[in-house]
Structure 1
Amino acid sequence: MSSSRAELESSIASLAARLPALRAEYPDNGDLMMAFAGEADVVQDAAGPADEAWVHERLSALLSEAIGEA
């Protein structure tokens, strides 16, 4: 069953809050991207068809921001 938009937003916000810790744990961008992908896949998998593109866009923006901070 797909998560609601509010649940997805909460999951994305939680991942965003974890990004500083992930960045500290994985200073190499390649390692960070792999760790991020593992967590982002869970969120992406919870999205229904109507939210897939929105979730992908939000997660891509988070990753771009995290990589840009390196």
Structure 2
Amino acid sequence: MASPYNEKETVEMLQQEQTRRQAFEQVVAQYSEQLYWQIRRMVLSHDDANDLLQNTFLKAWTSLEYFRA
């Protein structure tokens, strides 16, 4: 069973290269649904919302080097 999401631990993991991918996977799992519904309020199509969600997480992943806790 996976441990509960801990934001402080996840932020610390995001700052370390060896644990960054695992931490980002936790962020995606934690916030995907909530972010999807926020996006869905702005677009009509489920497919468009999914595309925007993917693009959002992709941009976050590629910009992690600029992340400051």
TM-score (norm 2): 0.48
Please say which structure displays the higher CA radius of gyration.
Answer: 2
Q: TM-score, normalised by structure 1?
A: 0.47
Q: Which structure has greater helix proportion?
A: 1
